[in-house]
Amino acid sequence: MKIFTGKVIATKTAKTATVAVERMTIHPLYKKRLKRITKYQVHDETGVTVGDHVKFVGSRPYSKTKKWKIIEIVSEKKGKAK
């Protein structure tokens, strides 16, 4: 199983976080570096907030679009009130 690392960009629905994963690709002809961002709907039991960096992994389908589960919070957003 592949473990992805990304930044939480939305937590609007219950037990769901939208996580953006950023990757760099190189254009085959021009060799320019391109930034590509993919958004994933991730199951959230821990209660993350927008701005947190998380690790997530594939799991059983929770819904039509949710097939990922958060395994740990890598770093929390700075200035976050507890």
As beta bridge partners, residue 50 has none
Express each pLDDT in 16-66 by its tens digit: 999 999 999 999 999 999 999 999 999 999 999 999 999 999 999 999 999
CA distance 79 to 76: 9
Q: Judge whether 82 lies within some domain.
A: no
CA distance 16 to 5: 16
By DSSP bridging, strand 53-58 and strand 3-10 are antiparallel
> Amino acid identity, residue 1?
M
Q: Judge whether 81 lies within some domain.
A: no
**Position 81 confidence tier, pLDDT thresholds 50, 70, 90:** low
Q: Judge whether 80 lies within some domain.
A: no
Q: Judge whether 41 lies within some domain.
A: yes
pTM of the model: 0.87
CATH classification at residue 22: 2.40.50.140
- Tell me how many domains the chain contains: 1
Give pLDDT, residue 78.
75
> Coil, helix or strand for 79?
coil
The boundaries of the domain holding residue 57 are 3-75
